[in-house]
A and B are shown apart, each in its own frame.
Chain A
Amino acid sequence: MEKRDIWSTLSRIDAKLLYALLAVFIIVPLIKPLGLPMSIPAETRAAYDFIDALPDGSLVLLSVGTDPQTEAETWAQAIAMGRHLLSKKCNLVLMSVNSVGQPYAERLASILQEEFGLEYGQDICVLGFRAGEETAVAGFAGDFLTLYNADYKGAPVKELPMLKGVSSAADFKLIIDYQYKASAIWFARHVGGPHKVPVIAGSRASSAPNMMPYYASGDFKGVLPGIQGGAAYERLLQRPDQATKGLDAQSMGLILVILSVLIGNVATVMGAQAKSKKA
């Protein structure tokens, strides 16, 4: 049996070993956070400052587009921002334009209700899912009470105490969107522009570049890019939680990706050199 040299071995690492290493690299920081340093993006700080400057009791819409695919990135953002908004005694209205995002809206309301002792209908309510994606957002902007005449339990929206006197999308002081497709851009287009309601985008890291032009133009008052945005928000709130752990795990996973690329390349180059020397 031919004896392999080290470069040959390194260029043929079993994929299962890489999988096992990745699992370890991700799970360990989730169990025991490493406390790696982090930078706070300017657009996340802007979101924090904007919410911090909201008058107490402001009516805020949270569009929860989170689903299992984006949960790792946007769920922790929603929890952290929800806590911040409620510390400002804001009234929260939750909705979703994602058919599988609605249960996340319900869960977010339930978690915040329990943590802050909120009364449903008085401090927080869930309107539910509406089909149509961008059209649903346009419908919300055009005639909020026609789109939502009842909440997710079927109770008439007009009878919810927190929505008494609310007749249009313009009555909201802020909209925060947790990304489903380009939902934050839909809100900026249909509500932010025509009704002058500020919009903040909680996005996936991979979509953050698409959000930045809207932040630069002032259409978004802030952007939370992926886990980094959530972790930065938790840092600003001085309440590290899921995103802070997730950022450490993501960093360790990235280290393995980079090591994999480096090992693969070095092994290929050195292996080729060793072969040519033998020849």
Chain B
Amino acid sequence: MAFDYDLLIIGAGPGGYVGAIRAAQLGMKVGIIEKDKAGGVCLNIGCIPSKSLVHQAEDFHSIGNLERMGVKVDLAGFDYGNVHAESRKAADQLSKGVGFLLKKNKVEYIQGTGIITGEHEVTVDGDKKISANNILIATGSRPRELKGFEFDGTTIMSSDDILMRTDLPKSMLVLGAGAIGCEFTHIMNRFGVEVTLVEMLDHILPTEDEESAKVLARSFKKRKITMYTSAKASPPRKENGKVILDVETKKGNKTLEAETLLVTVGRAANTEHIGLENVSISTENGFIQIGDYYQTSVDSIYAVGDVVSVTPQLAHVASKEAELVVEHLAGEKVEPRLDPTTIPTGVYTEPEVAGFGYTEEQAREQGYEAASNSFPIRGAGKSVAIEKTEGMVKIIYSTKTQEILGARIVGTQATDLIHELMLARSSELITTDISKMIHAHPTLSEALMEAARATEGWVIHA
């Protein structure tokens, strides 16, 4: 039986569009269905515009440095609307870029809402039936809404809402100190908003290594960001254009008040209204369950990215998973499922927080004779010159084989720096390979070399 497409992808985010291009490269006839804009959350209301805000927040912050040089800056004309507009420009440019790439690779872009109506069939906008040999679900996620904290767009905001906001609030509460919560805390603080961060677990960045989180917490504290950890919030009240949040902490109850509340407590998978029930694909807590090669309970249908429960909800994870699925479909030999210890994470605050692999405790639980050593970013001369001395590099390694088991970097540009250690790990280089390699001076990368030396007990600059 002939299908309209070899592969039909639902969702043109970083999972869908990468999968589509790769599939086209491998000779498949590919269609991709998107109800909003090419590039998905990542490009349009996620990673990209938020990085534009982070960047502009740093520019704004550096006004202080200009004044030190004697430059007088008149802030009277400052308009956050311009900042927002700039972030949209970046998003639009990249979204168009994705559209172009899809076109260039002869992927058919189908604007509309796709619902699976058969094992080989998707119906777009209720009437147009399209068939395909295989279907890939890459519908992504949306900000998770808590009961009693329903988003209203202005006083109770999701990350989508704050990214679309064209003015600055005077004060803001942030509920949930994960990567997204911390990034907006950072951005708003840089623009002079009074920010209070509330986290239910016992440290900010609760899924990150505690030592890394502490470095960021220290930095936040210096910047007069109020933080409450191990804090439980009751549903907020709205009074006189303010939002009031009762918080229960170990040190007693607090009543917090601000102009607006940002709720960043995770992201919910977009698995409703996509027709899973029509082909009886099973979900658990809203996530699609998958096999080794991301296949669902229906042979012809695969799922990747934020809708899948086994891997973290990150753009680069979705992209890689989509590549694997497509290569698998093309008959190439691929490794089953991503190994979570090979996935890098990044938090784009200042300092940044990046990492991969096991923490020391996790490595021990896995049976490794693990140890870890840290080196302060301050020890790399360049950090002093560029006035970004906060942070550290930590390498978790096997004392028996010098295998690199994981790493954490907190510091400026940590999200870029981490890749040297990742490449070392994936190529099975050992700590000595890094400690002995010449690193240019002055660079921040020298801190990585020194951290590797620390594992051998011979740092030079500490």
Note whether A and B form a binding pair.
no
Enumerate chain A interface residues (CB-CB to B < 8 A).
none
Enumerate chain B interface residues (CB-CB to A < 8 A).
none
